[in-house]
Structure formats: C-alpha cells, structure tokens
Amino acid sequence: MIMEKKNSAGYKPIEAMTVAASQLLHDGEVVFVGTGLPMLAAILAKNTHAPDLVMVTEAGIYDPNPEHLPMSVSDARWFKGSPWSGGPVELMNFFLQKGRIDVGFLGGAQVDKYGNGNSTVIGDYLHPERRLPGSGGACDIAIQSKRTILIMMHEIRRFVEKVDYITSPGWKCPGYPQQDNLMDRTELGLAGGPDAVVSDMGVMKFDPRSREMYVKFYFSGLGITPEKIQEHTGFAIDISRAEPLPPPEKVLFDILRSKVDPEGLFLGR
C-alpha cells in the first residue's frame, strides 16, 4: 500500500497523477481500463467532466459506474447498474480487435523512450531477476486501441532506455519473427500508439516525428521541475517543451477521496 504524506500543496503525488490522467479522457470515449490507477482515473473522469465515458474491462464489464471501488477488472463492484455484460472473447475481440476502443489505459513496471511497456519481467526473460504478474490484456490493448495512456511512478529504474521485455508495443518495436530491430509500429500494421505517459511528476507525450518521449507538463504544485524529471528518467528526455501544469481544482481531489477511493485502497489514507 502506498502511504505518502500530503505536502504543502494539500495533495499527494499519487493523487496528482490520477487527476492528471483522468483529464486526458474525453467525454463520450470508450476506454479499456486496466487494473489499478487506470480504474481510479477513469471512474473520476466519469464522475466529473466525462459522464458519457464508457469504461470496459477485459473480464466482460461494459459501461459501469461503480458505487464502490473495484479491486480488479473482474470485481463484482463493476456489475451493478451496467447495461450489458459479456465475456472476455467479446470484449477482447468484438470491442478491441474490431477497433471500437478509443483509449487503452494501462499501468506497468517499465516504459522506454518509445513508449514500449513492460509488465512481464525485470532482467532477462529467460533468467529473470524478478518475475512480474504478466501481460494480462496489456499487450492486446496496447496493440489495438486507437491510443494508449500509460500510468506509472516516475523512477529511474522504471523510465528506461530499453525495457527488459516488450509486453505492450510502443511507437518503435520489433517485427518478429523476421526482424528484431525496432521499426515504426505503423510499418507493422498496428493501430494507435502511446499518447501519453502519466507519472507522479508530470505528463509525457511523444514527438510525432522522432517517436521519442518528451515532457509536456510537470507538476509544479508538487515542487517538480523539468530537471527533476530528467534526474528520475533513465534516458535523455527532451524537457525543452515542458510547461508547468496548473494545479487541478481542489474539488477533483475531494471527489477522488470521498467518492472514488474513500477506503484508501489505492491512494492510501
């Protein structure tokens, strides 16, 4: 459980990143929600600026607005009040593979400068230092959503030059089995691509030409600077375009704490 003290800003980094991520979801979009902070951010968006946001999960959940925070993509808490429910084959194919998902919203353990995500292993896949939970639907969702948002804590071991394993393809990825060099995802015929990486320090976007990550916003209200983001990033990241993100309205934090996660399951207390 992440336990952080609130700072002088009156909100915690994990709250700032959840609110910033929710702001990236637009009303009326269909968002494929991964487990963890994506669930909180999507539920927050649904209960603030995006009442017509349609959340779906790989376990078969469609268009819920849960009264209590689910612990997983399969939680019974998603079900009450949903207009329909399906199975994983329908959600992963009739929805996702068919191209009906606007936003894939994922967590992960590592991301590289091209937005490749890793939730499988730390170290060599064949001789792992630390085995992680695995893809789940992350690989499928990153390949077939119209755009992808990744959310993870900003640490030098997480924002790396090259991920140890590509679970979720980003903008430049290998074209196995023939090609193990990185190539542009459009050459592989993949849809979408990473739109943003949201961390507890700011919001990163990708340059449309170089396909590399750059800092778009930093959380100045938390004392974050572009230089601090560079210090916590394991590759040279472009900070020349970085802007301070105006502190979010206080009411968003109130809703996040009182309505979305009042038990402090993900946000701590």
Of the residues 11, 105, 159, 165, which one makes contact with another protein according to CB under 8 A: 165
Distance CA 137, CA 23 (A): 23
The Cα-based distances of 102 to 17, 214, 252 in angstroms read 21, 22, 24
The reply on whether position 112 binds another protein by CB under 8 A is no
**Of the two residues 170 and 248, which places its CB atom closer to another protein in the complex?**
170
Q: Is 265 in the site for another protein (CB under 8 A)?
A: yes
Out of 22, 110, 144, 233, point to the residue binding another protein (CB under 8 A).
144
How many residues contact another protein, by CB under 8 A? Answer: 64
DSSP 133-156: ---TTHHHHHHHSSEEEEE----T
Question: How many Å apart are CA 97 and CA 93, to the nearest integer?
Answer: 4
Parallel/antiparallel/unpaired status of strands 202-206 and 194-198: antiparallel
Does residue 168 belong to the site contacting another protein (CB under 8 A)? Answer: yes
Q: Whole-number minimum distance, CB 227 to another protein, in Å?
A: 33
By beta-carbon proximity to another protein, the closer residue of 59 and 197 is 59
Question: Among 15, 29, 58, 212, which one carries the catalytic annotation?
Answer: 58
15 is catalytic: no
Range 45-104, binding another protein (CB under 8 A): 58-61, 67-68, 71-80, 85-89, 92-93, 96-97
Residue 208 touches another protein, criterion: CB under 8 A: no
Judged on CB neighbours under 10 Å (0-12, 13-18, 19+), 236 is exposed
| Angstrom distance (rounded) from CA 228 to CA 236 | 12
If one asks whether residue 35 binds another protein (CB under 8 A), the answer comes out as yes
Would you say 2 or 236 has its CB closer to another protein?
A: 2
* Residue 146 contacts another protein per CB under 8 A: no
Nearer to another protein, 30 or 191 (CB): 191
In 3D space, the residue among 61, 6, 4, 15 whose CA is nearest the CA of residue 251 turns out to be: 15
Helices (H) and strands (E) in the chain, counts: 6, 17
DSSP sequence for 183-231: EEGGGGT----EEEEE-SSEEEEE-TTT--EEEEEE-GGGT--HHHHHH
Which stretch in 5-13, 182-190, 215-223, 244-252 sits in contact with another protein by CB under 8 A? 182-190
Catalytic residues: 58
| Positions in the binding site for another protein (CB under 8 A) | 1, 35, 58-61, 67-68, 71-80, 85-89, 92-93, 96-97, 120, 125-126, 128-131, 133-140, 142-144, 165-169, 173-177, 180, 185, 188-190, 263-266
